[in-house]
């Protein structure tokens, strides 16, 4: 039983939103090279940088642009510029871990932008970017109806293989 549960959990991961594709990541890296400097440096490490699904690309793109606008307004540069450590899914929603110099007068503003985006992710399908809802059946996720049906169909097939 334990083994079956573990296998189903690993399938959940398999049929989850997966990693953001290269094209989307490259667009973020090219347009916001300062914000993503660490992610760019560690591109070959799969679990590093941006590890959520494509559905949150637009959300992350807009957040990046907002961070950039604030940073430019107060002329931040070098290590004083916010730096993305990891953008991932946790308990269904986006977690955007960004290193911010707390002596920075705009630090609070950055944190507000991040919190706002994380909250918005709670109603955006992590797979496709359409409006989605929070689902928790032991595995928490944000999905639209179509992506959820797709996951369920794949899981039924996967469970069939386990019997
Ligand atoms: Zn979807």
Spell out the domain ranges in the chain: 2-158
How far, in Å, is the centroid of ligand 1 from the Cα of 146? 6
CA 161 to chain centre: 30
pTM: predicted TM-score of the whole model, two decimal places: 0.86
Predicted confidence at residue 82, as pLDDT, reads 96
Q: Cβ distance 131 to 123 under 8 Å? A: yes
- Classify the phi-psi angles of 98: left when phi > 0, otherwise alpha if psi is within -120 to 50, otherwise beta: beta
pLDDT band with cut points at 50, 70 and 90 for residue 153: confident
Residue 6 has pLDDT above 80, yes or no: no
Predicted confidence at residue 18, as pLDDT, reads 80
Q: Which residues contact 34 (CB under 8 A, 6 or more apart)?
A: 68, 71, 77, 81, 83
Residue 51 has pLDDT above 70, yes or no: yes
How far, in Å, is the centroid of ligand 1 from the Cα of 148? 7
How far, in Å, is the centroid of ligand 1 from the Cα of 33? 29
């Amino acid at each position: 039983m334990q083994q079956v549960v573990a296998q189903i959990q690993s399938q959940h991961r398999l049929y989850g939103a997966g990693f953001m594709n290269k094209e989307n990541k490259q667009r973020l890296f090219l347009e916001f090279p300062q914000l993503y400097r660490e992610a760019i440096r560690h591109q070959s490490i799969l679990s590093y940088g941006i590890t959520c699904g494509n559905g949150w690309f637009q959300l992350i793109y807009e957040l990046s642009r907002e961070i950039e606008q604030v940073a430019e307004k107060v002329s931040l540069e070098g290590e004083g510029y916010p730096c993305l450590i990891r953008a991932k899914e946790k308990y269904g929603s986006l977690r955007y871990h960004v290193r911010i110099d707390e002596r920075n007068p705009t630090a609070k503003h950055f944190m507000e932008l991040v919190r706002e985006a994380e909250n918005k992710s709670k109603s955006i399908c992590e797979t496709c970017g359409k409006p989605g809802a929070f689902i928790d059946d032991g595995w928490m996720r944000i999905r639209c109806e179509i992506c959820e049906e797709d996951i369920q169909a794949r899981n039924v097939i996967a469970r069939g293989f386990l019997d």
